[in-house]
Amino acid sequence: MNYWDYIHVEELLALQGGFDDDEQKVSNDEALFIVVHQIYELWFKLILRELTSARELFRQNPVPDQKLASAARSFRRVVTIFEQAIQHFRVMETLTTRDYLDFRDRLIPASGFQSAQLREIEVLLGLDDALRIPLGREGSYKEALKTADGSPSSATRRLEARLASGPSLKHYLYEWLSRTPIDGSSEPEAVLRFLRNYMRSMRAENERRVQIAIDKALAPADVERLRARYEAENANAEAFLLAEDDPGADEATREKRRAVRAAIVFIESYRDLPRLAWPREVLDRILEMEQAMLIWRQRHARMVERVIGRRTGTGGSAGVDYLDQTALRYRVFGDLWTVRSLLLRQPSVPELEHASDYGFRVEDSP
Ligand code: HEM
């Protein structure tokens, strides 16, 4: 074995033929455009591998504690890849508007919107279809992957295989979270008891904040405004924790949501307990991963705005406006983000009755 055979260097270097599959006819600008996209697709491939492994891990019941470190490592790798990939937009930006216009129209209707792997990442993570923004020309992300005559393309088949591969990472992660014993018990009453205690502490903490503002000689009208703001914050937090924020949900769904949300608050609040350290690391890495992906979306949008302004995309969308919308709406792990608004200072966190359950386990000697 040698390097060139193992890496398939010749095959790799023969993939930049452009429209006519003839590299002689490809300008340096177009070669850059093709190569940067190809590099991204390779990064997406690696991201999909890591997410698949993590999904398989959380599919297990119970999830072995010692495997959580592997999951955290996968998420860290995904974050690092996104961070590196974001830098590639700098290279893309060396393409000026006029240089791009030289070959852009020939691309229509091709677009990154047809990247099956980005859609696979979203599906694997568990992006809710209801959040998706319909695209102008095709109406749906699945339609956009079909060939011009409506038959399935290689991209369609790729996406269909992913959709058929089973529930998402979010699904299994939430199953795992819902099994977390809250202060020693997973019973719905124990979950509710924990949440009620926690909400009491949240209210007390916000009341303390209003008092600090009063002590600092806030005008009475400002105090009222502030009080109303904290009151709305408390009410929203309680509706979220008790899963009363979706009136359409049935009681079984709400019970499950309460268990998931209580588990996130619990893991984040008592993260110093040894057996919660890895779960907490996992949640932090997932949030970081979603953050990196949102930054990727925003960065892509700013690069696009710089290169083509606000014109219609080759894929037929509203261009930058569409991309900015995806960066705002395409969140998978909304509960993890919401809990960040609810966390308390250490002294305000309610005391646990069964903290010792979360210490290191000492195996019986044989
Ligand atoms: C000059 C460079 C680029 C321009 C002007 C550009 C422009 C656009 C536009 C306008 C869209 C919205 C869909 C449409 O109407 O076409 C889009 C979507 C997309 N682009 Fe780019 N793009 C560029 C480079 C890249 C690169 C290097 C990647 C790397 C993979 C990429 C990946 C994507 C993806 C994945 C989408 C779909 C986003 C979504 O639907 O959430 N683009 N691009």
**Nearest alpha carbon, ligand 1 atom 38:** 113
* Cα(286) to centroid(ligand 1), Å: 24
Cis bond leading into 167, ω under 30°?
A: no
**Residue carrying the six token digits 């009080």:** 227
Judge contact between 322 and 117, C-beta under 8 A.
Answer: no
pLDDT tens digits, residue range 52-93? Answer: 999 999 999 999 988 999 999 999 999 999 999 999 999 999
pLDDT band at 143 (very low <50, low <70, confident <90, very high): confident
3-state SS, 59-92, equals HCCCCCHHHHHHHHHHHHHHHHHHHHHHHHHHHH
Using the CB atoms, write b or e for 264-291: b if 16+ within 10 Å: bbbbbbbeebeebebbbbbbbbbbbbbe
What does the domain layout of the chain look like in residue ranges?
A: 3-350
Q: What is the mean pLDDT of residues 231-245?
A: 97
DSSP per-residue string spanning 241-307: HTT-S-TTS-HHHHHHHHHHHHHHHHHHHTTTSGGGHHHHHHHHHHHHHHHHHHHHHHHHHHHHHHH
Judge contact between 68 and 50, C-beta under 8 A.
Answer: no
* Cα(350) to centroid(ligand 1), Å: 47
Query: What is the CB < 6 Å shell around ligand 1?
Result: 36-37, 40, 92, 95, 100, 111-113, 115, 118, 300, 304, 307-308, 313-317, 319, 322-323, 326
**185 by DSSP, 3-state: which?**
strand
What pLDDT sits at residue 366? 53
pLDDT band at 362 (very low <50, low <70, confident <90, very high): low
Angle at the Cα of 321 (from 317 to 324), degrees rounded to 5?
115
Q: What is the mean pLDDT of residues 19-34?
A: 97
What pLDDT sits at residue 217? 75
Out of 32, 304, 329, 332, mutate this one to test ligand 1's pocket (max ligand atoms within 8 Å of CB): namely 304
Q: Which class does domain 3-350 fall in?
A: mainly alpha
**Nearest alpha carbon, ligand 1 atom 19:** 112
Whether 2 has a pLDDT exceeding 60, the answer reads: yes
